[in-house]
A = this chain, B = another copy of it.
Amino acid sequence: MGMGRPREFDAEVALDQAMEVFWRHGYEGATIAQLTEAMGINPPSLYACFGNKEGLLKAALDRYSKLRGAWMDVVVAAPTARDVAERMLIGIAEKQTDPANPPGCLLVQGGIACGTGSENVPFELAARRAQNEDQLRDRFVRAKADGDLKPTSDPAALARYVSAVSVGMGVMASSGSDREALRQVATVAVQAVEAQSADRT
C-alpha cells in the first residue's frame, strides 16, 4: 500500500508566515484567508496539517518558543542577576522593534482577551509567558544562593517583575514606541534589580 502524495509545501516555512499573521493581527483578528494566503497554501492543506485554527496557533507558538527559548538561554547565562535583567530587557527593546518582525511580542499580540469560543487562547499564551518567568526565577534563585542578590530579596517577585516589564514593553512597541523609548524603559527597570543586588565589596 502506498504512502500517499507528498506535501508540496514546507511546514516550517509556512508556520513562519502564519506566525507573522497572528503576531500582527492577533488570533481572532487573523482570518483563515489571510493565513492561507501568507502561507501560500489552500485551506484543506492547512486543516490537514494543523487540524484547525487553534492548532495552527499552537504550532506557531511552539516555533516561537523554540526560537525565543534559545535566546533566553543566552540571557540567563549572564554573570549576575542585574546583568540577566539588563540583557533581557535591552534585548527585548531591540527584538520588539526589529523591522524584520511585527512590533511587540507574539505571546502578547496573539490575544489578551478573546471572544466566546476562544477563551483558552489567552491562557495558552499566558502559559508560554510563564515558562520564561520560571526560567528567570530559577536564575534569580541561583543568584540569591550565590550571594549576588540580597538575602532579603524575593527571586520569584523579581522574575515576575522583569516579566511584567517585558510584557509592558511589548504593548508599547506594538502601539508605536520606538527603540530608544523602549531602551529607556529597560534602563530604568534594571535599576530595581540593581537595588536588590548585594553591594559589591
Q: Any chain B CB within 8 A of the CB of A38? A: no
91-117 of chain A: CB within 8 A of chain B: 104, 108-116
B residues near A40, Cβ cutoff 8 Å:
none
Of B129, B157, B174, B181, which one neighbours A122 at CB under 8 angstroms?
A: B174
**Beyond A160-B181, A164-B172, A191-B196, 14 additional pairs, beta carbon < 8 A:** A23-B113, A24-B113, A25-B116, A26-B113, A29-B118, A104-B113, A112-B112, A123-B176, A126-B176, A129-B175, A157-B184, A157-B188, A158-B188, A167-B168
Q: Chain A 29-67 against B: per-residue CB contact (8 Å), 1 yes, 0 no? A: 111001000000000000000000000000000000000
With A29-B113, A112-B112, A175-B123 known as contacts, the answer to whether A192 contacts B188 (CB < 8 A) is: yes
In the complex, the count of this chain's copies comes to: 2
Could you list 28 examples of A-B contacts with CB < 8 Å? Answer: A25-B113, A28-B29, A29-B113, A29-B116, A29-B118, A30-B115, A31-B115, A34-B116, A104-B112, A112-B171, A122-B174, A126-B175, A129-B175, A160-B177, A160-B185, A160-B188, A161-B185, A163-B168, A164-B168, A164-B172, A167-B172, A168-B169, A188-B192, A189-B189, A191-B192, A191-B196, A192-B192, A192-B195
Chain A interfacial positions (CB closer than 8 Å to B): 23-26, 28-31, 34, 104, 108-116, 118, 122-123, 125-126, 129, 154, 156-158, 160-161, 163-169, 171-172, 174-177, 181, 184-185, 187-192, 194-196
Contact call A191/B188, Cβ cutoff below 8 A:
no
> How many angstroms between the C-alpha atoms of A54 and B28 in the bound complex?
17
